[in-house]
Amino acid sequence: MQHAPMARGHASVERPDSMQLHPFDRPGRFWRGNLHGHSTRSDGRLSPQEYCRLYRDAGYHFVALTDHFLERYDFPITDTAAYRTPEFTTLIGAELHTGRTELGHLWHILAVGLPLDFAPYPPGETGPAVAARALAAGAFVAAAHPAWYGLTEQDVRSLGAIDAIEVFNGTAADHNDKPDSLYMLDLLLMRGQRYTACATDDTHSFPDRHDALRGWVWVKSETLAPDALLQALKEGAYYSSTGPQIHDMALVGRTLHVRCSPASRILVTGYGYSSVSVHGHGLTQAELPLQELGNSPFFRVTVRDAHGGRAWSNPFWF
């Protein structure tokens, strides 16, 4: 089985026959970060410094500034290194837009970990071509907010070996009520495609939208160094959340053990409608028999709290 996501200070499941799942099986701690947001370098309302300060003051450990990489904004890739501190760091990135999707929309492709000299689009470059170029440059690449603008299954598959699908997008909640793209992830998993799942804010700080501090990732790394965080993202060593935390996950035989912050329901879902779950008040651990998933080739975990917040593991494959 492939491994996918222990928060600092939480003991792991200790059984002789247990196997911790990725990234709980790796050294380090979890760092909280936002991977998608915009500043005055494109269509955001905060300066790059203000954008970084917003997340630093909220207790985040890192942030990526991903302004729209378009000619009308002079193709911005902002160097945010000046805003790093020993407790807070930044990743360099952009939201890429070139070519058209199946339904005629301009592509939206999230790329975190780009070089500062990432070149503008050559004439005729397509979305899949720029995604490949970003991957070749070492970036973590995700299909941004599929539900928000109607990406099709064929669109996502055309991007090739990208890293992730953005399954939650905070700004979409108040823009067109389409923040959730988990359906696209599950459909592609059932097709045998392998992606991780990231949640983001896509912050613009528009006065009519609550689009900050809504969705984030917890990345497992030994250090807060930007290169270490980027490598962990590329390896799928993270989980996503809009509230709850997942402290540990381990397999004991064919039973999945989950420990988390207080939850109202813990679910394991697989192929089609297959699922197993437990519910209660203030659940902090659960044992879930994976036999209930039948012959599903994969599973993923959702933790839901009493306030409607959710945390999502990355998919695991048998």
**pTM of the full structure:** 0.94
Local confidence band at 5 (pLDDT 50, 70, 90 cut-offs) = very low
Whether residues 259 and 300 fall in one domain: yes
Q: Which of 15-29, 50-64, 93-107, 296-310 has the weakest average pLDDT?
A: 15-29
Q: Which of 236, 263, 287 is the last residue of a domain?
A: 236
What's the Cα-to-Cα distance from 300 to each of 4, 5, 70, 212, 312, rounded to whole Å?
A: 9, 10, 36, 26, 7
Residues 250 and 236: their CA atoms lie apart, in Å, by 16
Local confidence band at 144 (pLDDT 50, 70, 90 cut-offs) = very high
What is the residue range of 280's domain? 18-25+243-317
Residue 295 counted as domain residue: yes
Per-residue pLDDT tens over the stretch 203-249: 999 999 999 999 999 999 999 999 999 999 999 999 999 999 999 99
Q: Is the dihedral of CA 289, 293, 295, 301 positive or negative?
A: negative
Whether residues 176 and 294 fall in one domain: no
Are the C-beta atoms of 31 and 218 separated by less than 8 Å? yes
Whether residues 103 and 160 fall in one domain: yes
Higher-confidence residue of 2 and 167: namely 167
Asked if pLDDT for residue 187 goes beyond 80, the answer is yes
Whether residues 286 and 151 fall in one domain: no
Whether residues 123 and 269 fall in one domain: no
Residue 8 counted as domain residue: no
Taking the CA atoms of residue 178, residue 180, residue 184 and residue 189 in that order, the dihedral angle to the nearest 10 degrees is 180
Whether residues 206 and 247 fall in one domain: no
Whether residues 230 and 266 fall in one domain: no
Whether residues 215 and 252 fall in one domain: no
Whether residues 118 and 219 fall in one domain: yes
Q: Which of 213, 236, 259 is the last residue of a domain?
A: 236
Residues 121 and 70: their CA atoms lie apart, in Å, by 9
pLDDT of 18 reads: 77
Burial code (b: 16+ CB inside 10 Å, e: under 16) for 31-62 equals bbbbbbbbbbbbebebebeebbebbbeeebbb
Local confidence band at 19 (pLDDT 50, 70, 90 cut-offs) = confident
Residue 105 counted as domain residue: yes
Q: Which of 236, 271, 302 is the last residue of a domain?
A: 236
Residues 219 and 8: their CA atoms lie apart, in Å, by 12
Residue 38 counted as domain residue: yes
Asked if pLDDT for residue 202 goes beyond 70, the answer is yes
Structure tokens at 12: 């792991």
Please state whether the peptide bond connecting residue 5 to the residue before it is cis, i.e. omega within 30 degrees of 0.
no
Whether residues 106 and 203 fall in one domain: yes
Residue 5 counted as domain residue: no
- Sequence-distant (6+) residues with CB within 8 A of 78 are 39, 41, 48, 65, 67, 92
Q: Which of 1-10, 277-286, 302-311 has the weakest average pLDDT?
A: 1-10
Residue 10 counted as domain residue: no
Whether residues 279 and 183 fall in one domain: no
Residue 94 counted as domain residue: yes
Local confidence band at 4 (pLDDT 50, 70, 90 cut-offs) = very low
Task: Provide the CATH number for the domain around residue 285.
Answer: 2.60.40.1930
- Sequence-distant (6+) residues with CB within 8 A of 123 are none
Instruction: Give the number of other Cβ atoms within 10 Å of residue 132's Cβ.
Output: 17
Task: Provide the CATH number for the domain around residue 135.
Answer: 3.20.20.140
For the chain, how far is it from start to end, CA to CA, in angstroms? 4
Asked if pLDDT for residue 309 goes beyond 60, the answer is yes
Q: Which residue, among 104, 98, 91, has the nearest Cα to 75 in the 3D structure?
A: 98
Angle at CA of residue 214, ends 21 and 250, nearest 5°: 10
Whether residues 169 and 122 fall in one domain: yes
* Mean of pLDDT over the chain: 95
Residue 7 counted as domain residue: no
The tally of domains found in the chain comes to 2
